[in-house]
Amino acid sequence: MDSIKTPLMGMNRDELKEVAKSLGMPAFAGGQIADWLYRRHVTTIDEMTNLSKANREKLKAGYEVGCMMPVDRMASVDGTVKYLFPTRSGKFVETVYIPDKDRATLCVSSQVGCKMNCLFCQTGKQGFEGSLTAGDILNQVYALPEREHLTNIVFMGQGEPMDNLDNVLRATEILTADYAYAWSPKRITVSSVGVKNKLRRFIEESECHVAISLHSPLHEQRAMLMPAEKGMPIAEVVELLRNYDFSHQRRLSFEYIVFGGLNDSHLHAKEIVKLLRGLDCRINLIRFHHIPGTELHGADDSKMESLRDYLTAHGIFTTIRASRGQDIFAACGLLSTAKKEGTRS
């Protein structure tokens, strides 16, 4: 039986140099390995042809690239594609590719399941099964068939990114590093329900955009929708955000799923304005599409437009996000749940 090998994917250049040196290779070979991984996207060590055959054999003895192709795929009539990727731990996570004119966004996952248990989220109903490694996160980009078309990445898939902050930071470091993907951090958005201490660290250690899941400005109602509100009230999260400058290139946005008859009233609009007054931010209004096991339903277009117009008139740039992939349940959780339960081969 083969011994378990360590994946190279997820290591930064300095770590790859240490791997090289530990095997008796020159340190610069670590930079060559990084180039093969993150610029050329090889799937095997044998493809790293500027390493000598002897050095490739040394590397292969204990390491592997770590590329894992998707095991399932669902395509929407609008071009959205949902992929199911395996993880190093033997679990599965979903990734959604969303092409839109001259943009192509990838929605990546950071955990298997989620601890936050939001009422409207299928992933939360799975329970928490573990955090992804940086390699697991990067593999969703690395092994994506449409990788070359990507313009944006959003950490809005399964899991709470701030609950797996070290690996999220490592993944975004490699995505933005000049020796690797060299993406601008302005092409990456990381979302959170508002884990305060981790959010502070993320803002200070990363330049990526920040998105906060709002969904209600009212404490008791938000706590009903999002249990995290009990320990991390949105009012405190907003106060933390006021300490940072989002007036230049870095963007702060709030995600707001609009539920019919629940959080779509004039009162909610007024309370949102009060909560966010003076903060340089935008709001994305999102249509809710029903998931199994909830009685929530989406608001009609007139309510969403009324909410958008009120917020915009009161100085908060607000958009209604176009629905994508509705026919394949593009919101994460359904495909991996089916795989877990053995209902989809």
| Active site (annotated) includes residue 332 | yes
Q: Which parts of the chain fold into alpha helices (H)?
A: 13-22, 28-38, 53-62, 122-125, 134-142, 165-176, 196-205, 219-225, 234-241, 266-276, 301-313, 334-341
- DSSP per residue over 32-98, as a string? HHHHHHHTT--SSGGG-TTS-HHHHHHHHHHEE------SEEEE-TTS-EEEEEE-TTS-EEEEEEE
State residue 217 phi and psi, 5-degree precision.
-85, -5
Exactly one of 94, 160, 229, 255 is catalytic; which is it?
Answer: 94
| Active site (annotated) includes residue 94 | yes
φ/ψ region of 224 (left if φ > 0, alpha if ψ in -120 to 50, else beta) reads alpha
Exactly one of 107, 121, 281, 332 is catalytic; which is it?
Answer: 332
Per the document, the length of the chain is: 345
Tokens of 138: 């990067």
Cα 254 from Cα 339, distance rounded (Å): 31
Tokens of 199: 């959010």
Q: Give the number of other CB atoms < 10 A from CB of residue 271.
A: 16
Catalytic residue positions, numbered? 94, 332
